[in-house]
A = this chain, B = another copy of it.
Amino acid sequence: MPFLSGTPPFRPERPVFALILGNTLLSTVPGVSGAGMSPEKTVLTPVLDSELITHGVIRSRKWKPNTPTGCPTPAVITRAMTSLLGLLPLFVNAGLTGQPVVPCFDMYGEPGRDPREGDAVPRARDLYTRGEQLGRFLSQSSDFLLLGECVPGGTTTALCVLRGLGIPARVSSSFVDNPVALKEAICARVRERIKAEGATDPLDIIRIGGDPMLAVAAGMASSFQGDTVLAGGTQMLAVAAVLRALGRKVPAVVTTVYVRDDPSAGFASMAEAIGARVFYVDPGFGALGHAGLARYCIGEVKEGIGAGGAMFLARIMGRSEEEIRETILSTAAGY
């Protein structure tokens, strides 16, 4: 397996790596998200991941950056790659339940609400506009935008939005066993609400059933002037689908082979339906000799907080596959 599928045409000189943090209260519904030690604690993951990426350690709480089975958070991979590149990411607060411990470009949004009970993102349109403002600001100095995200529970809101846009979507999960039935039940309720309103505008669909990240990411990608790559799994396909429905250029998407190979999601055919070019990163975690990272190969975690995109960026900026793998291994071994 090659490290990178295809031959990316990008030659970033002044890249910006933006990581959008957001919450949806759906992640607190038992069974929806595996991104945290317990359903209530999933909402903390974006704040802890951004602390880990920035400082290399978590000091704000007692916390192990691993799943209960010892699988490292993808923030470890992102941290390894940003250290290797000497690149400082830009954290964007799209709407979090708590205050971050690292400074963020703040959209002054709110966490997404449970879409079964009412509008999930009442200010979706405003967040999109603010995302556009940031994309324009970044265009002034940067020539390449890599856009990642961390939204626990976000694959469920992505499913709601993809289906709302008429795409026969299935979505991935950070669980080995994707809680498909629960996601489908939530999604069915959202479809009822979309139908009742007759909503077709993608920003209305985010308002009804999405999360704040989706609105901000679509805005940023829509206005950024240079090359844009969406870094993530099915959540970033939802962003691509929103952009297509808005009549905007659909950026390329980069993710890991662990997302591609998730039989419950059907990533490649969804990407094709949306018209998004996809690059897959295969870091070969099975052969690294790290039991936790090897669990990515059996479908645990798979991707998150721009990890696939971070490896992709390191590669297109000239780092060797060996350097990349060694840096991830030595970083993961430190936790």
Identify the A interface with B (CB < 8 A). 14, 16, 54, 87-88, 90, 93, 99-100, 102-108, 130, 133-134, 136-137, 140-142
Contacts and interface: CB of A to CB of B under 8 A. Distances in A.
B103 A14 contact: no
A87 to B, nearest CB: 7
23 contacts: A14-B140, A16-B140, A16-B141, A54-B133, A87-B140, A88-B133, A88-B136, A88-B137, A88-B140, A90-B137, A93-B106, A99-B108, A100-B108, A102-B130, A103-B105, A103-B106, A103-B107, A103-B108, A104-B106, A105-B105, A105-B106, A141-B141, A141-B142
A293 to B, nearest CB: 29
A107 B90 CA distance: 13
A139 to B, nearest CB: 9
A155 to B, nearest CB: 26
Q: How many copies does the complex hold?
A: 2
Contacts of A134: 103
Nearest to A16: B141
Contacts of A141: 14, 16, 141-142
Nearest to A99: B108
Nearest to A137: B88
A140 B87 CA distance: 8
Nearest to A93: B106
A136 B103 CA distance: 13
Contacts of A54: 133
A87 B140 CA distance: 8
Nearest to A142: B141
- The 8 A-B pairs at the shortest CB distance, nearest first, are namely A141-B141, A106-B106, A14-B141, A88-B137, A103-B130, A141-B142, A105-B105, A103-B107
Contacts of A107: 103
Contacts of A140: 14, 16, 87-88
A27 B88 CA distance: 36
Nearest to A143: B141
Contacts of A142: 141
A107 B108 CA distance: 13
A159 B137 CA distance: 34
Contacts of A90: 137
Contacts of A137: 88, 90
A219 B182 CA distance: 48
Contacts of A103: 105-108, 130, 133-134
A46 to B, nearest CB: 14
Contacts of A108: 99-100, 103-104
Contacts of A102: 130, 133
Contacts of A105: 103-106
Contacts of A104: 105-106, 108
